[in-house]
Amino acid sequence: MKRNVWILITGLLVAALLLLLQVLFIVRQGEVAVLTTFGQPRRALAEPGLYARWPWPVQRAYLFDARLRCLEGAYEQILTQDGKNVLVALYAGWKISDPRLFLERVGTPAQATQSLDGLLRHHETAVLGQYTLGHLVNVRTNELRYAEIEQRMLAAVQAEARARYGIAVEFLGIRKLGLPEAITAKVFDRMREERKAIADGYRSEGEGEAIRIRAEADSARDQTLARAEGDAKRLRAEGDAAAAEFYRVFEKNPELAMFLRKLEVLEQTLKEKATVVLSADTEPFDLLQGGKKEEKK
């Protein structure tokens, strides 16, 4: 008897649990839910918690991961504005922004990935078709337009993804860029020509600067030489004037001039403790003899 009671209690508990599972469901952190009534979306639930519903087939709860997802687009060949083919792959980050619209238009995350990938390809072709190859591959970084291209694609994809699929695209960028083999050689040739043009420009500027510096140096040298020559002429003129004044004095007194000249020769001869053996009558040593005679007198 007791065994039958426990079996009955266990059965009732299982039945109650199954019933609770039919009428209750949990929305976890990072999830969103859509509650449908006879297959029609009626209520979106974005807050985590425990919720009640009518058992199936009256109502059903669809749970979706609301966290940010990353999508890597396929490697696509795009035609640029100047008729060049490039290979481009995009990446994007997205999440569910409108659960009801997402359930109605998309249904599953896998289908959302396919729909969003097609949307990326469409706007990728439309936007890149308005730019030239030089905006993507260029040795002059100021001519690259990556940020502008990515921003334009993001704005276009964001608006359409939110309106059509209930998806919020948070970021978008160019993941990979390549060139078909047919045009790779041409691109490298053009890059080499651009590098050569830049090098020639720098070389021309350097040569012009060198010519300017040499011209300034030559001008400074000529000015310095001219000033030095002018100073030399002035000093020679001043020396000639002073010499002429001395000559006039010596012309008036030749004996004084001879005496000063002899003193100068004596000074030059005897200034290094020299030993000289000469006759006392030899000029200019006769001055020494004359001095002794004056002392004897």
pTM over 0.95: no
Encode pLDDT of 188-218 as tens digits.
Answer: 677 777 778 888 888 888 888 888 898 888 8
pLDDT value of residue 249:
65
125 or 4: which leads in pLDDT: 125
User: What confidence category does residue 83 fall into, taking pLDDT thresholds of 50, 70 and 90?
Assistant: confident
Encode pLDDT of 39-49 as tens digits.
Answer: 888 888 888 88
pLDDT value of residue 43:
85
pLDDT value of residue 150:
95
- Tell me the two tokens of residue 178: 């390549």
pLDDT value of residue 293:
45
Question: Exposed e or buried b for every residue in 63-99, given b needs 16+ CB within 10 A?
Answer: ebebeebebebeeeebebeeebebebbbebebbbbbb
Q: How many CB atoms lie within 10 A of CB 131?
A: 19
Taking CA 291 as the corner, what is the angle to CA 290 and CA 293, rounded to the nearest 5 degrees? 65
Length of the chain: 297
47 or 9: which leads in pLDDT: 47
Looking at every residue in the chain, the average pLDDT score rounds to 81
Range from 133-147, 187-201, 230-244, 275-289 that averages highest in pLDDT: 133-147
Looking at the predicted structure, is the pLDDT value of residue 110 above 80?
yes
Taking CA 212 as the corner, what is the angle to CA 211 and CA 215, rounded to the nearest 5 degrees? 85
